[in-house]
Homo-oligomer: A and B are copies of this chain.
Amino acid sequence: MAKIQSKKNSTKKEVIIEKASRLFREKGFGAASMRDLAEHVGVEAASLYNHIQSKSEILQTICFKVANEFISNLDAVEASHQSTLKKMEAIIRLHIRMMLDQYEYVYIADHEWRHLPEPYLSNFLNQRRNYRKRLGDIIEEGIARGEMKALEPYTAVLVILSAVSGIDSWQRSRKSTSAEALEANMVKFLVEGLKK
Protein backbone atom coordinates (compact mmCIF):
# COMPACT_ATOMS: atom_id res chain seq x y z
CA MET A 1 0.00 0.00 0.00
CA ALA A 2 0.89 3.60 -0.27
CA LYS A 3 2.28 5.82 2.42
CA ILE A 4 2.32 8.70 0.02
CA GLN A 5 0.16 10.82 2.28
CA SER A 6 1.27 14.38 2.67
CA LYS A 7 -0.25 16.55 5.40
CA LYS A 8 -3.95 17.03 4.72
CA ASN A 9 -5.22 13.54 3.80
CA SER A 10 -4.34 13.88 0.19
CA THR A 11 -2.02 12.06 -2.13
CA LYS A 12 0.90 13.83 -3.70
CA LYS A 13 -0.93 13.64 -6.98
CA GLU A 14 -3.74 15.68 -5.49
CA VAL A 15 -1.26 18.20 -4.18
CA ILE A 16 0.26 18.52 -7.63
CA ILE A 17 -3.11 19.06 -9.23
CA GLU A 18 -4.07 21.63 -6.66
CA LYS A 19 -0.86 23.62 -7.12
CA ALA A 20 -1.19 23.24 -10.88
CA SER A 21 -4.69 24.64 -10.87
CA ARG A 22 -3.43 27.80 -9.24
CA LEU A 23 -0.58 28.08 -11.69
CA PHE A 24 -2.65 27.34 -14.77
CA ARG A 25 -5.14 29.99 -13.79
CA GLU A 26 -2.49 32.63 -13.16
CA LYS A 27 -0.35 32.05 -16.23
CA GLY A 28 -2.54 29.99 -18.52
CA PHE A 29 -1.87 26.36 -19.37
CA GLY A 30 0.57 27.12 -22.15
CA ALA A 31 2.67 29.58 -20.21
CA ALA A 32 2.89 27.51 -17.04
CA SER A 33 5.89 25.22 -17.11
CA MET A 34 6.48 21.95 -15.35
CA ARG A 35 9.60 23.43 -13.76
CA ASP A 36 7.40 26.22 -12.42
CA LEU A 37 4.95 23.73 -11.06
CA ALA A 38 7.68 21.57 -9.56
CA GLU A 39 9.03 24.53 -7.63
CA HIS A 40 5.63 25.20 -6.09
CA VAL A 41 5.32 21.55 -5.12
CA GLY A 42 8.85 21.61 -3.66
CA VAL A 43 10.41 19.05 -5.93
CA GLU A 44 12.41 18.75 -9.15
CA ALA A 45 10.49 18.78 -12.41
CA ALA A 46 11.36 15.22 -13.31
CA SER A 47 10.00 13.97 -10.00
CA LEU A 48 6.51 15.05 -10.92
CA TYR A 49 6.43 12.19 -13.39
CA ASN A 50 6.45 9.69 -10.55
CA HIS A 51 2.89 10.84 -9.85
CA ILE A 52 1.44 12.02 -13.11
CA GLN A 53 1.71 10.88 -16.69
CA SER A 54 1.93 14.21 -18.44
CA LYS A 55 1.17 17.88 -18.20
CA SER A 56 -2.05 17.50 -20.09
CA GLU A 57 -3.22 14.72 -17.82
CA ILE A 58 -3.44 17.38 -15.12
CA LEU A 59 -5.61 19.50 -17.35
CA GLN A 60 -7.82 16.56 -18.19
CA THR A 61 -8.28 15.70 -14.54
CA ILE A 62 -9.31 19.23 -13.68
CA CYS A 63 -11.64 19.74 -16.62
CA PHE A 64 -13.53 16.49 -16.18
CA LYS A 65 -13.71 16.75 -12.41
CA VAL A 66 -15.52 20.05 -12.82
CA ALA A 67 -17.68 18.81 -15.65
CA ASN A 68 -18.78 15.76 -13.67
CA GLU A 69 -19.67 17.87 -10.68
CA PHE A 70 -21.89 20.15 -12.72
CA ILE A 71 -23.52 17.29 -14.56
CA SER A 72 -24.36 15.26 -11.49
CA ASN A 73 -25.83 18.33 -9.84
CA LEU A 74 -27.95 18.97 -12.91
CA ASP A 75 -29.18 15.38 -12.69
CA ALA A 76 -30.37 16.08 -9.16
CA VAL A 77 -32.10 19.31 -10.07
CA GLU A 78 -33.86 17.76 -13.04
CA ALA A 79 -35.14 14.93 -10.89
CA SER A 80 -36.51 17.33 -8.27
CA HIS A 81 -40.08 18.57 -8.29
CA GLN A 82 -40.09 22.34 -8.40
CA SER A 83 -41.08 25.08 -10.78
CA THR A 84 -38.78 25.74 -13.72
CA LEU A 85 -37.86 29.09 -12.20
CA LYS A 86 -36.80 27.41 -8.96
CA LYS A 87 -34.79 24.90 -10.95
CA MET A 88 -32.94 27.63 -12.77
CA GLU A 89 -32.37 29.48 -9.54
CA ALA A 90 -30.90 26.35 -7.99
CA ILE A 91 -28.61 25.90 -10.97
CA ILE A 92 -27.51 29.51 -10.93
CA ARG A 93 -26.77 29.34 -7.23
CA LEU A 94 -24.77 26.19 -7.70
CA HIS A 95 -22.70 27.80 -10.42
CA ILE A 96 -22.03 30.83 -8.27
CA ARG A 97 -21.01 28.72 -5.28
CA MET A 98 -18.76 26.53 -7.40
CA MET A 99 -17.17 29.66 -8.78
CA LEU A 100 -16.66 30.97 -5.27
CA ASP A 101 -15.18 27.98 -3.53
CA GLN A 102 -13.65 25.98 -6.34
CA TYR A 103 -12.56 29.03 -8.23
CA GLU A 104 -9.31 27.74 -9.67
CA TYR A 105 -10.76 24.51 -10.99
CA VAL A 106 -13.85 26.07 -12.49
CA TYR A 107 -11.84 28.83 -14.07
CA ILE A 108 -9.58 26.35 -15.81
CA ALA A 109 -12.45 24.22 -17.06
CA ASP A 110 -13.94 27.44 -18.39
CA HIS A 111 -10.88 28.95 -20.03
CA GLU A 112 -8.19 26.38 -20.63
CA TRP A 113 -10.14 23.49 -22.10
CA ARG A 114 -8.85 24.44 -25.55
CA HIS A 115 -5.54 22.89 -24.66
CA LEU A 116 -7.01 19.47 -24.06
CA PRO A 117 -5.61 16.95 -26.53
CA GLU A 118 -7.93 14.85 -28.60
CA PRO A 119 -10.00 12.84 -27.98
CA TYR A 120 -10.57 14.54 -24.64
CA LEU A 121 -11.29 17.85 -26.30
CA SER A 122 -14.19 16.49 -28.34
CA ASN A 123 -15.44 14.57 -25.35
CA PHE A 124 -15.39 17.69 -23.19
CA LEU A 125 -17.14 19.80 -25.80
CA ASN A 126 -19.80 17.15 -26.22
CA GLN A 127 -20.50 17.14 -22.53
CA ARG A 128 -20.66 20.90 -22.49
CA ARG A 129 -23.01 21.07 -25.45
CA ASN A 130 -25.23 18.50 -23.83
CA TYR A 131 -25.26 20.36 -20.53
CA ARG A 132 -26.30 23.58 -22.22
CA LYS A 133 -28.94 21.78 -24.17
CA ARG A 134 -30.47 20.49 -20.95
CA LEU A 135 -30.48 23.97 -19.43
CA GLY A 136 -32.14 25.25 -22.57
CA ASP A 137 -34.81 22.60 -22.24
CA ILE A 138 -35.66 23.75 -18.73
CA ILE A 139 -36.04 27.31 -19.95
CA GLU A 140 -38.11 26.18 -22.91
CA GLU A 141 -40.44 24.40 -20.56
CA GLY A 142 -40.58 27.50 -18.36
CA ILE A 143 -41.69 29.58 -21.31
CA ALA A 144 -44.25 27.01 -22.42
CA ARG A 145 -45.72 27.00 -18.92
CA GLY A 146 -45.89 30.78 -18.90
CA GLU A 147 -43.43 31.04 -16.00
CA MET A 148 -40.76 32.77 -18.03
CA LYS A 149 -40.75 35.45 -20.67
CA ALA A 150 -40.34 34.45 -24.28
CA LEU A 151 -36.58 34.43 -24.78
CA GLU A 152 -34.65 32.28 -27.19
CA PRO A 153 -33.65 29.52 -24.74
CA TYR A 154 -30.09 29.08 -25.91
CA THR A 155 -29.42 32.81 -25.67
CA ALA A 156 -30.71 32.81 -22.12
CA VAL A 157 -28.42 29.92 -21.25
CA LEU A 158 -25.51 31.79 -22.75
CA VAL A 159 -26.23 34.92 -20.74
CA ILE A 160 -26.58 33.02 -17.50
CA LEU A 161 -23.48 30.88 -17.83
CA SER A 162 -21.33 33.76 -19.01
CA ALA A 163 -22.57 36.07 -16.31
CA VAL A 164 -21.63 33.58 -13.64
CA SER A 165 -18.23 32.89 -15.08
CA GLY A 166 -17.54 36.62 -14.94
CA ILE A 167 -17.22 36.26 -11.20
CA ASP A 168 -13.56 35.69 -11.81
CA SER A 169 -13.20 39.44 -12.28
CA TRP A 170 -14.75 39.88 -8.89
CA GLN A 171 -12.58 37.27 -7.18
CA ARG A 172 -9.57 39.50 -7.49
CA SER A 173 -11.20 42.44 -5.68
CA ARG A 174 -13.12 40.67 -2.96
CA LYS A 175 -13.21 43.71 -0.74
CA SER A 176 -16.15 45.72 -2.10
CA THR A 177 -18.87 43.07 -1.96
CA SER A 178 -19.40 40.02 0.23
CA ALA A 179 -19.91 36.64 -1.35
CA GLU A 180 -23.46 36.45 -0.01
CA ALA A 181 -24.35 39.87 -1.40
CA LEU A 182 -22.83 38.95 -4.74
CA GLU A 183 -24.85 35.77 -4.95
CA ALA A 184 -28.06 37.53 -3.93
CA ASN A 185 -27.55 40.29 -6.48
CA MET A 186 -26.73 37.97 -9.32
CA VAL A 187 -29.68 35.74 -8.62
CA LYS A 188 -31.95 38.77 -8.42
CA PHE A 189 -30.70 40.09 -11.73
CA LEU A 190 -30.72 36.81 -13.62
CA VAL A 191 -33.84 35.18 -12.26
CA GLU A 192 -35.90 38.34 -12.65
CA GLY A 193 -34.50 38.66 -16.13
CA LEU A 194 -36.07 35.31 -16.87
CA LYS A 195 -39.36 35.85 -15.02
CA LYS A 196 -42.38 36.85 -17.04
Q: How far is the CB of A152 from chain B (nearest CB, A)?
A: 5
Asked whether any CB of chain B lies closer than 8 Å to the CB of A34, the reply is no
Point out the residues of chain B lying under 8 angstroms from A151, CB to CB. 185, 188-189
Chain A contact residues, majority secondary structure: helix
Partner of A166, one of B161, B167, B186: B161
Copies of chain A in the complex: 2
Partner of A115, one of B31, B111, B166: B31
Q: How far is the CB of A26 from chain B (nearest CB, A)?
A: 8
Asked, given contacts A28-B28, A149-B188, A193-B192, whether A182 binds B155 with beta carbons under 8 Å apart, the answer is yes
User: Which chain B residue has the least Cβ–Cβ distance from A170?
Assistant: B158
Contact with B along A96-138 (1 / 0, CB 8 A): 0000000000000001001100000000000000000000000
Residues of A within 8 A of B (CB): 27-31, 111, 114-115, 149, 151-152, 154-156, 158-167, 169-170, 176-177, 181-182, 185-186, 188-190, 192-194
Point out the residues of chain B lying under 8 angstroms from A177, CB to CB. 152, 154-155
Q: How far is the CA of A152 from the CA of B27 in the complex (A)?
A: 30
Point out the residues of chain B lying under 8 angstroms from A149, CB to CB. 188, 192
Question: Do B159 and A190 have beta carbons less than 8 Å apart?
Answer: yes
Asked, given contacts A31-B30, A149-B192, A165-B166, whether A159 binds B176 with beta carbons under 8 Å apart, the answer is no
Question: Do B28 and A185 have beta carbons less than 8 Å apart?
Answer: no
Point out the residues of chain B lying under 8 angstroms from A165, CB to CB. 162, 166
Q: How far is the CB of A3 from chain B (nearest CB, A)?
A: 37
Question: Do B115 and A189 have beta carbons less than 8 Å apart?
Answer: no
Question: Do A163 and B158 have beta carbons less than 8 Å apart?
Answer: yes
Partner of A156, one of B29, B169, B176, B189: B189
Point out the residues of chain B lying under 8 angstroms from A163, CB to CB. 158-160, 162-163, 166
Point out the residues of chain B lying under 8 angstroms from A111, CB to CB. 111
Point out the residues of chain B lying under 8 angstroms from A155, CB to CB. 170, 177, 181-182, 185-186, 189
